[in-house]
Amino acid sequence: KAEEEELVLTPDGTREFLTFEVPLNDSGSAGLGVSVKGNRSKENHADLGIFVKSIINGGAASKDGRLRVNDQLIAVNGESLLGKTNQDAMETLRRSMSTEGNKRGMIQLIVARRISKCNE
């Protein structure tokens, strides 16, 4: 498959980076339709990023079908969420959904996904 050649792996090789352009135009007020959660390190309580908690039926992500629960959101519409506090990352997500997303009818997401082992 041609798709597999474009995979970008994290340095430890446990996750792949994927870029999705999700059309928003037919999802109405449901928007992207994901709920997200911030993860924190148990040791030092550092923010570890924003992850997809659930995908809401009828939202753009559900219709698009590529986003999955537990995907980590890396960037939205070209704006990185890495290194931001969970709160700032959520704010960035909300902002891009309302303004840029609506203008383009599209939201671009870069996500990191754990690579599932063949035996899972």
Indicate the SS3 state at residue 102. Answer: helix
DSSP 54-101: EE-TTSHHHHH----TTPEEEEETTEE-TTS-HHHHHHHHHHHHHTHH
102, amino acid identity: N
pLDDT per position in the chain (120 positions), as tens? 334 445 677 777 788 999 999 887 665 666 788 888 888 888 888 888 899 999 999 888 999 999 999 999 999 989 999 888 888 888 888 887 776 556 668 889 999 998 875 544
Q: Please give the radius of gyration of the chain, using alpha carbons only, rounded to the nearest integer.
A: 14
Instruction: Give all domains of the chain, ordered by start, each with its CATH number.
Output: 23-114 (2.30.42.10)
How far is it, in rounded angstroms, from Cα 50 to Cα 93? 10
Cα(72)–Cα(51) distance, integer angstroms: 4
Q: Which pLDDT score is estimated for 29?
A: 63
> Is residue 116 exposed (0-12), middle (13-18) or buried (19+ Cβ within 10 Å)?
exposed
